[in-house]
Structure 1
Amino acid sequence: MQDRCVLVATDKFKGSLDAPTANAAIARGLRSVLPQADVRTRGVADGGDGTLAVLLENGFEAVPVDVTGPTDEPRRSVVGHRGDEAFVELAEICGLARLPGGTLAGMRATTRGLGLAVRAALDLGVRRVHVAIGGSASTDGGLGLLTALGATATDADGHPVTPDASGLLRVAHLDLTGLDPRLAEVEVIAVTDVRNPLTGPDGAAHVYGPQKGLDASLIPEVDAGMVRWGKLLEAASPTFSPDTPGTGAAGGVGAGLLGGLGGRLTPGAPYVLDTIGFDADLAAADLVVTGEGSWDEQSLQGKAPAEVLRRAHAAGVPAAIVAGRVTGREGLPELGVRSVTALVDLVDDPAVAMRDAERLLEDAGARLGGWLTRA
């Protein structure tokens, strides 16, 4: 393996490191044991938090924008720009990680800042705007997004409603004629792997509301609000259906993007891997290393490392997994996984594994390099 090519392509280690930093640490460890090897790094993501960081490492420029956070506080953020495409990450703009003090705000959180970011993206003169909608803090159905872009949402008396879940309970009329006219010339694409519909037991309020701070007693009421909201979007955009898979993503933002802006959905992990040119590096690789903070039974369901494994397996390239913890190994041998390393197995305390993740990932890379020399 001294003169072979190793491709390191992990997702973020949530709570510890972003994907580029995690990959760099593993690569350092590999090079310490295999100095002649061609070790390449490609951060990967699936449309949730951390996706923008990966794209900024792969040709996108960070453009500063003035937006608002999840509880409508002014803040400075960035969007990605490359050629005729802009990339907006909801999690970076107004997601859970941006809640002041980390305090959930189930009824007050809004996607208004996301709309401001999309408007800033339009100022760049792009033809496509990709919007990653994972990691949201709100359950507003995209109400905040649309009003920030010029839509008007009012109650039964004609008064504007607040751009949050509270407003969603009162909205009776939706007028899209005031939307930024530049949207008609731009393709809007929601990046997500979530397939939930807008309403019902598998919808935005029931499935994701508790994660965003909605009290259990309010969930049926918010779901009923989503039903009314879905009908308003359907009336405004006859091709829209609230039953479309993905409309319930990010507290209903999927519905706002599809029904309000005429957008479409695209799976997150394949989009990111295609955008960063992953397959070109894979073609040269003799081994692929992937992973994330926690590898469990859900990791093979639409996550970025799973897409890495599938592509590697299809190309006949063996793979290794490095993760913070590993609680599920089913299906890995069938995908060509030859080695699995968990950081929690390298130390006695899981808290230490999170705190010292960068050092431990470098150690894991060195161990993997040693394994390669013996394989």
Structure 2
Amino acid sequence: MVIPKQKSGVFTVEMKSTPSLRAGLIKAGKWQQVLANLHTKASGSQPFIDYQDNFYLVNVTTGTPPQQFNIVPDTGSSNYWLIDANKCTNQACQGYPNSGYTKHRFDSTKSTTFKSLGTSFSLQYGSGSCVGTLAFAGLTYGSQTFGLASSIADVFGYQIMDGIMGLGWPALSDNKVVPPMQNLLSTLDKPLFTVWMDRITNPPSQGGNGGLITYGALDTINCDTTFNYVTLSSQTYWQFAVDSFSVGTYNVPKSQQVISDTGTSWLGGPPKLINYIVLATNAKYDALNQAYTVSCTASGLPDIVFIIGGITYNIPSTEYVLDMGLGNGDCVVTIFDMEFTGFGPQWILGDTFIRTYCNVYDIGNGQIGFSKAHHKSV
């Protein structure tokens, strides 16, 4: 990893990837039971269930004196929330033993800048939900209204994370709270941030691989120097149009709406088009583990291809096929199907795409840009 030299108006934050939740629980023989529990407790309002198997974290401090947390930077949402140390006390809030991680929870009684607004909130994610009250606290760049969760979804209890920092647009924010990025803009050289995600080792069971978020500048060290931009079609999610999608001999030459989402680990798409990937790779559905699989030694697998703004973006099998420890020589194809309605996105381009191409989220110009990511090894 190359960390650019810091300068005024540019802030570079190192990321780390978590160990694979799925791989760890499969190894312990407990994955099927976790799946059963998650499906039983999942909210009916959730449009899809993405287990965020491997995802990337940043260290964030909140309050005075600062309390430190491992946070998911999520371009698919716009609120910042932490677990309430005084009200969220069940096992999920503390972290399930299977996760090997004890949650860090915000203790408002130990922060001199904390002020409760007394406003309730409820947030739904593709992989869970949280409810609680809004609070106001001092941060290194001034102040930020954030949520203190008194209850979180079970799925979060299995994951190595203490909260979520939404990097989406204000229109997506619950209670019209100003998102963290909008509070940070006045301190930046440029009103944008760049995300570079390093490759996950294969198998990705231990985590630790990093990446960088560069606030206020392009990362031209870990990414190619040329970024190609497209205008956003909606300033809620980081949503834009792709010109076409193809895999192998299957081609869909029509515009579709997609979002770039750092908080989603895999590629999500319409069932019919996900099935094209299944057919092109000869993948099989593992009903027990609820994932599509191919042989870990499979060769000649086609790239998944999106054309965006007239530029071709290929996702190679080295990015979308991962060894999750299923055994029998099987590897997981990191795809899932989902259904969105109306004018919402048809695809979610999660970490599988972002590891291949750096994403620059240009708030000032209402656009998103892409550049080939640099990695030491595959």
Give the alignment's TM-score, normalised by structure 1: 0.29
Rg: which structure is higher?
A: 1
Choose between structure 1 and 2: higher helix proportion: 1
Q: TM-score, normalised by structure 2?
A: 0.29
